[in-house]
Amino acid sequence: MTLLTQRPAGQDTLSPNQQLLPLTAQANALDHLEIGGCDVVELVARFGSPLYIVDEVTLRTACQQYQAAFEQYYPGPFQVLYASKAWSCLAICALVSQEGLGLDVVSGGELVTALQAGVDPARIYFHGNNKSAPEIDLAIRTGVTLVVDNDWELEQVCRGAEHAPVRIMVRFTPGLDCHTHAYIRTGQRDSKFGFDLDALAGVFQRLAQRPAVQCVGLHAHNGSQIFALEHPQDLAGILVDWMAKGMAYGLPLTELNVGGGLGIRYTTADDPPSIAAWVQTVAKGVASACQQRQLPLPKLLCEPGRSIIGPAVVTAYTVGSSKVIPGVRTYVAVDGGMSDNPRPITYQAEYEAVLANRLGAAATETVTVAGKHCESGDILIQTAHLPPTVPGDVLVVLATGAYNASMASNYNRVPRPAAVLVHASEASLIVRRETYTDLLRQDCLPSRLAP
């Protein structure tokens, strides 16, 4: 049984985050994997490998499902923000903006990318625990909303407000500990992000004395790749309680941002809740908390990243060498690895793969998919069930849209991959493949060392 035949009927009605394959994935007459009407084997022949392949239908569907769910379940105003740290490039930012989403950015580079892609500054929110003074100045000049994370930033923002009004939100750590990898938890008290709860009253008091700093809301976030729905529900009550306390200081708090964190399906064993179920939990939690406290409904914001871009992308590799260790394991090496997907070595992340050029072949072997880098930990998949492989096969790792391209590196001086957007049988290049010339572009060789 292949991953295609395992998909439930009526797949177009399911949340993209609940599927391993993009919505348009199918086997064509050549028994090749086809995405967006494009043969993946032909894409590799045309654009090379490794290659990020983005399915436009899956990406747009995730955006649309978030929008539709908020319209259905939340009676007040809302704004869905794409967490662009998952993957920030011009095309992705422009596409999600077309679907009505704003953007969450965490650096000057992500901010400039969003603006260059045509995103309305009024729908951009700037996060980060250590924004530089130039980044804060850029945010103020461009009119985006700053999510203030700590005392130092608050001081910088107050200085900036002496010259122009500044719109901010305040981020705090809610004290919730979700069950996910330690590196992607953000809601527990011991976190580098946000004000501690004990400090919030003092922050409110300072802001009440600074009318030029328009504190419009509060932000809190639990973490990433979360499956349990009780966490966003708990967070809603905490946010509303602190909104009430801030309003008592006279602050114009009209927005609450619950962050993101909805997980996706990376393996057949994963079972994340749907986009609609997550939104319903968040929306009902905030609405109920406001009703109990007799408060008006705030503008409700959320910041999904992984659940929007993750399922829409696959990475295609070309198989090279293999190594059989009798009684131990078989290694199958591909022409990429930790430089284009650092998540396995960083988070022990698990993935699944298929052979794009023999999609229907029986998976009769269990192998370890290794990368090409000079690092023993450069393993993409520890246990992969695949047909027998030969050099030249096109191996496709699934659900690679989130934190693969955005965390890619030039380790071992390997150029970063190209990316294509596929839709209606057309492939559009959205990120050019780096060249060796690109690798040398920023290097400087002092004259005394020149050959």
Q: In this predicted model, what pLDDT tens digit does every residue of 209-259 receive, in sequence order?
A: 998 999 999 999 877 788 888 766 778 889 999 999 999 999 999 999 999
Confidence of residue 5 (pLDDT cuts 50, 70, 90): low
Token pair listed for 29:
């007459």
Percent of the chain with pLDDT over 90: 87
Torsion of CA 421, 424, 426, 430, to 10 degrees: -20
Q: How far is CA 365 from CA 202, 361, 369, in A?
A: 61, 11, 12
Q: Which CATH number fits domain 12-55+313-435: 2.120.10.10, 3.90.1280.20, 2.40.37.10, 2.60.40.10?
A: 2.40.37.10
pTM score, two decimals?
A: 0.94
Question: What's the CA gap between 375 and 22, in Å, rounded?
Answer: 31
374 carries an active-site annotation: yes
In the prediction, which pLDDT does 96 show?
98
In the prediction, which pLDDT does 214 show?
96
- Mean pLDDT, the chain, integer: 93
Torsion of CA 383, 387, 388, 391, to 10 degrees: -90
Confidence of residue 352 (pLDDT cuts 50, 70, 90): very high
Is pLDDT at 13 greater than 70 in this prediction? no
Is pLDDT at 204 greater than 50 in this prediction? yes
In the prediction, which pLDDT does 7 show?
56
Superfamily of domain 127-304: Alanine racemase (3.20.20.10)
Which residues share a beta bridge with 318? 394
In the prediction, which pLDDT does 208 show?
95
Confidence of residue 2 (pLDDT cuts 50, 70, 90): low
In the prediction, which pLDDT does 165 show?
87
Tens-place pLDDT, residues 275-331: 999 999 999 999 999 999 999 999 999 999 999 999 999 999 999 999 999 999 999
Q: Where are the domains of the chain?
A: 12-55+313-435, 127-304
Is pLDDT at 180 greater than 60 in this prediction? no
In the prediction, which pLDDT does 182 show?
46
Question: Which one of 63, 93, 178, 374 is the catalytic residue?
Answer: 374
